[in-house]
Amino acid sequence: MRNYFLSISILSGTIIGGGMFAIPYVISKAGILSLFIYLPFLVFVQFVLHSLYAEIILSTKQKHRMPGYVGLYCKNKAVKDITLFISIVGKHGALLAYILLGGEFLYALLNPYWGGSIFLYSITLFLLESIVVLFGLKLIARVELFLSFFLVFLVAIIGFKSFGYFSVNNFIIFDKNYAFLPYGVIFFAVGGQAAIPEVCRLLNRRKEKIKSAIFWGTFLPAILMTIFVIIVVGVTGNVTSPESLVGLKLFFNSGVVMFSLILGLLTIITSFLVISQSLREVYWWDLKMNRKFSWLVACGVPLLIYLCLHFIGVNNLITKVMSLTGAVTGGIFGFILILLLFRVRKVREITPPLNTGLSRGVAILFSSMFILGLIYELWFFFN
């Protein structure tokens, strides 16, 4: 039972990440109706993808990440190379966004007392997170369990304190000019594929426990996100900031802002831990790198990118990184995952305890959505 709750917390902690703080901004533009269209649908899509990934993992004796499974079951080297590239780019992009966001939140929280720059706080937080990753899954799972409960507590406090500032007049219903804006950000925000191998390992192939943990670990964060988005947009309206918390500072007192920043920092930490561990295992299991060297590469590359961006003065990339990662790399990942599943069902090594029963009709519907979302996001980015 203990590992069951650890599994739910590690998946929930992965999902409740930096993407949650970008959703209020896109909803303030597109309208509150878009939240209740995009979020339930994309959460369901991610739940299906999480379950498909678990089925693939449980059909295989060896330990791999997504590129390794593609290499094992698909003989086409180009497909494996594309999967490896997308997996690495997507995870490094997410870690870069978390370094940027985490540094801003820690700076806003501690700078009034200790001074220092955003750069210094970003590096300090990154080093602490990387040390936790070095010690592996069990420590990460325990940290996730503690932080998940604390996150719910903090959202409740923010919600209670917002009553005096909340107004339904701050919501717009729907704006067709921004109708597709929320897709990439929300798809990024509700994705937790990086945690699925950990869920399967912790629950040791127990079918009902795995299925239940994936369900609750995927849908509980969506409930928390919905509450958070309604609170933020209901308070800040058309001055909602791209990362939410700056906008809240215009309305709340310093105590509420402090709780908001702590909430933001905790969500960044939980997601960074699991995604960096996932990326480490791509290098370790799939590319056969040394265990410690794989940790160094997984954590070192996003740090180097951050340092380069800092020294050349490039800023304000957080929302773009999230949207591109969700719609482009996430869409390609989902498309390949569906194709891989049908291949695995023909040649799998063992009968898995979990079978999703995905039909070809649903697979075509999802794949079409991924392709259209990818095309739109690339068009929007370059226009």
Domain ranges of the chain: 2-381
The pLDDT assigned to 320 comes to 74
Task: Say if CB 322 and CB 185 are below 8 A apart.
Answer: yes
Residue 223 has pLDDT above 90, yes or no: yes
The region of weakest confidence among 140-154, 171-185, 300-314 is 140-154
Q: What is the DSSP letter of 169?
A: G
Stretch 193-218: mean pLDDT: 85
Nearest alpha-carbon partner for 99 in 296, 295, 300: 300
The region of weakest confidence among 74-83, 139-148, 353-362 is 139-148
The pLDDT assigned to 245 comes to 79
Nearest alpha-carbon partner for 275 in 316, 230, 320, 329: 329
In angstroms, the CA 108 to CA 86 distance is: 33
Q: Residue 360 carries which side chain, given as an amino acid letter? A: R
Q: Tell me which range, 35-39, 77-81, 112-116, 262-266, is most confidently predicted by mean pLDDT.
A: 35-39
Residue 214 has pLDDT above 90, yes or no: yes
More confident call, 49 vs 84: 49
Measured between its terminal Cα atoms, the distance across the chain in Å is 51
Task: Say if CB 206 and CB 353 are below 8 A apart.
Answer: yes
The pLDDT assigned to 186 comes to 95
The pLDDT assigned to 174 comes to 94
SS3 labels along 107-135: HHHHHHHHCCCHHHHHHHHHHHHHHHHHC
Residue 201 has pLDDT above 90, yes or no: no
In angstroms, the CA 53 to CA 310 distance is: 36
Task: Say if CB 343 and CB 301 are below 8 A apart.
Answer: no
Q: What is the DSSP letter of 62?
A: S
Q: What is the DSSP letter of 16?
A: S
In angstroms, the CA 59 to CA 77 distance is: 21
Q: Which long-range contacts (CB under 8 A, 24 or more apart) does 171-177 make?
A: 171/31, 171/32, 171/233, 171/234, 171/237, 172/28, 172/31, 172/32, 173/31, 173/32, 173/33, 174/30, 174/31, 174/32, 174/33, 174/34, 175/29, 175/30, 175/31
Stretch 105-127: mean pLDDT: 90
Q: How confident is the model at residue 27 (pLDDT cuts 50, 70, 90)?
A: very high
The pLDDT assigned to 139 comes to 59
The pLDDT assigned to 303 comes to 92
How many Å separate Cα 338 from the centre of its chain? Answer: 19
Q: What is the DSSP letter of 174?
A: -
Residue 226 has pLDDT above 80, yes or no: yes
Task: Say if CB 171 and CB 32 are below 8 A apart.
Answer: yes
In angstroms and rounded to an integer, the radius of gyration of the C-alpha atoms of the chain is: 20
Stretch 247-256: mean pLDDT: 77
Q: Residue 50 carries which side chain, given as an amino acid letter? A: H
Supply angle C-alpha 353, 355, 359, rounded to 5. Answer: 170
Backbone angles phi, psi at 65, to 5 degrees: -110, -175
Residue 137 has pLDDT above 60, yes or no: no
Residue 113 has pLDDT above 60, yes or no: yes
Supply angle C-alpha 46, 52, 54, rounded to 5. Answer: 105
Q: How confident is the model at residue 316 (pLDDT cuts 50, 70, 90)?
A: low
- CA distances 235 to 85, 161, 230, Å, are 41, 11, 8
Q: Which two tokens stand for residue 323?
A: 């949207």
Q: How confident is the prediction for the chain on average, in pLDDT?
A: 85
Handedness of CA 189, 195, 200, 202 (dihedral sign): negative
In CATH, the architecture of 2-381 is Up-down Bundle (1.20)
Residue 138 has pLDDT above 60, yes or no: no
The pLDDT assigned to 208 comes to 74
Stretch 366-372: mean pLDDT: 93
Q: Which two tokens stand for residue 44?
A: 């369901």
Residue 17 has pLDDT above 80, yes or no: no
In angstroms, the CA 53 to CA 49 distance is: 6
